[in-house]
Chain A
């Protein structure tokens, strides 16, 4: 069965970076892309970006351009999202999800809580 397993919760100080991993299993990793979505406390879902696991092509939401980098390691079927220059309002649960650039994401990871606090 398709599974996406994310890395554990992180606590970071403002200005630091965080790298969240998402290990996929149960399907051919390079046949699908991975989207990253976050939900901050009291806020709604927010699309962060998408990466093709086939060729590494990325699309990032304008808000995160220059601060986020998404990568994949096809040898381990793992996707990564690194967010730099963290601010307190980056505190959120970050989800990875299998899907297409057009937005349909049918399998989700369990979420990773990233807390940014001094």
Chain B
């Protein structure tokens, strides 16, 4: 099964909002509300930012939000801060009872 499709990079200035898309198929993103988003700073453990499309775990800033439409999920970060600069990955449960990740998006805060 191919990885979910994410833009390779996005950028924004402090205070702005950005959205990262994650496109799959009806066999994964479109078929289940089990899309998660992770933030990964190289050298550190990934951090869960959004689970089940739009649920924000305790301790995650409310500047992070998730949504889904059809086969595409999205992560929006509002009020960009320098500390948000990282790699972001989506993941989805699939019809094969497996999990696949997106290729990752590098967020640059200008």
Residues of A within 8 A of B (CB): 35, 37, 39, 44-47, 50, 59, 61-62, 95, 97, 101-106, 108-111
Contacts and interface: CB of A to CB of B under 8 A. Distances in A.
B89 A45 contact: yes
Looking at A37, A103, A111, the one whose CB has the most chain B CB atoms below 10 A away is A103
Given A37-B101, A39-B40, A109-B45, 13 more contacts: A37-B46, A44-B102, A45-B40, A45-B91, A47-B100, A47-B101, A61-B98, A103-B99, A104-B36, A104-B48, A106-B48, A108-B47, A110-B45
A47 B104 contact: no
Contacts of A97: 46
Interface residues of B, number: 28
B92 interface: yes
Nearest to B101: A45
Contacts of B21: none
A39 B47 CA distance: 14
B98 A105 contact: no
A44 B89 contact: yes
Nearest to B51: A104
B97 interface: yes
